[in-house]
Amino acid sequence: MTTLPGPGAHVLVAGGGVTGPAVARALLRLGAAVTVADGKPVAREKIAAEVPEVAVVDLDDLDPAGYALVVVAPGFRPTAPIVVAAQDAGVPVIGDVELAWWIDRAGAFGAPRDWLVVTGTNGKTTTTQMLESILAHAGLPAVACGNIGRPVIDAIADAADPRVLAVELSSFQLHWAPSVRPRAGVVLNIAEDHLDWHGSMAAYTADKARALTGDIAVVGLDDPVAATLPAATGFTVGEPAPGQYGVRAGMLIDGAGSSIVPAARVSPPGPAGIADALAATALAQAVGVTAAQAGAALTQFRVGAHRAEPVATVRGVTYIDDSKATNPHAAQNSIEAHERVVWVAGGQLKGADIDPLVARVASRLAGAVLLGVDAELIAAAMARHAPDVPVVRVTSGDDSRVSPVTNDASRSIGTSVAGDVRVSGDADAVMTAAVHAAAGLADVAGQSRTPVVLLAPAAASLDMFRSYGHRGEAFATAARALGAAS
């Protein structure tokens, strides 16, 4: 660990977003002189108002030479100009999580805490929420933080002094936190994601694997990449080997063979929810929680918004918002929890290959409604691997009005494209049209077996929506409106 920046140290914080104010406040508490740099005027105004004690400057063309340390927001790539310039000038570059670790290990904000780190391509937030719930049920002063929303550095500065941190970390955060050695850490799974940031699958995997450098390492044994990483134990949704976590006779069991909770009581249902529950239990047991305590908490746990959340049932069709499924691996888990699905998908694929997902789930698809910047890539994959599944593409245009979409059954069966829908209006209008199209496909498919309508985009949301939450809310609003109109 590098020496903490104290009185007299001049520290540059690059990025004034979610973590910037928290980092600035922590550095001021240590006595450092702080400059926050951001390229957006709105962000600079915001942090100047929130933390008036810091200097606020424009990030563009800033020379980091002369600073003792640069703390970057997680989204900064290793090739970002400010990072390269700092490294060329011999200035250390770290992330906010790394700074939080330095502060915590030094005892600067109280006695060091137990860090329980959760990472993976998918399931991080649900697992972290489960973990926090288990810890609280067991009576441990704990808090969820990190990528889940609350900066870790805020959590360790909390006057409530949580003793255990349930820390969700993204691959970006782990890249910029090389010193973190948690009490226990888990890699849930690893699939193609953020390769545009990391540069390669190997680099992405290496950053994820940093969660396993602490005392106890846990991996998802059903995932072909995570299972190859060195670990003390692991979990499977099947029958576990001795010392592993898994499912036996419909019951989740821990590494000692003790019963945790019936699989049917786990929310969200399906293999992904069970895997997350096993991972959360494994981490909680690293700080003394029993299988019975974990099971009691899991029976009461309910998944958060936009994570396989049923939002409406209209004419016997259930509409499910899994907007958090922002990559193909997450969408696969979501789709495979259901026998028959009208799939609402699309957005920014971020370079991920969609073909393996479509090929795997084709037999479950009763239809697909595609939207967003990479809709054509998904449509092409559907044509290759699911040519008999009807597809509707919803695009925005200025020459059409928004109206309910009714699918013509004669066009829908046995064709790769059921129709193209053009709407005018904002992203919410596009989603409304998409939900109407999905309802039409579900009505046709329901003549044989009623499907669910599932928003599992397999892609990021920022091409159209403010966030995955906004996308999920638009879907839920449109689905509920169907019920009100029927």
Indicate the helix (H) or strand (E) that contains 311: strand 309-314
CB 369 within 8 A of CB 438: yes
**Reduced to 3 states, what is the DSSP secondary structure of residue 53?**
coil
Report whether 126 belongs to an annotated binding site: yes
Burial of 469 (0-12, 13-18, 19+ CB in 10 A): middle
Q: How far is CA 51 from the centre of its chain?
A: 29
Q: Which of 37, 45, 41 is nearest to 67 (CA)?
A: 37
Report whether 324 belongs to an annotated binding site: no
Report whether 350 belongs to an annotated binding site: no
**Reduced to 3 states, what is the DSSP secondary structure of residue 126?**
helix
CB 121 within 8 A of CB 211: no
Cα gap 83→176, rounded to integer Å: 11
Report whether 122 belongs to an annotated binding site: yes
Report whether 125 belongs to an annotated binding site: yes
Report whether 124 belongs to an annotated binding site: yes
Cα gap 186→119, rounded to integer Å: 6
**108, two tokens:** 């600067």
Backbone angles phi, psi at 258, to 5 degrees: -80, 145
Cα gap 297→302, rounded to integer Å: 10
Report whether 35 belongs to an annotated binding site: no
Cα gap 376→52, rounded to integer Å: 47
Q: Provide the annotated binding site.
A: 120-126
Q: Provide the annotated binding site for ATP.
A: 120-126
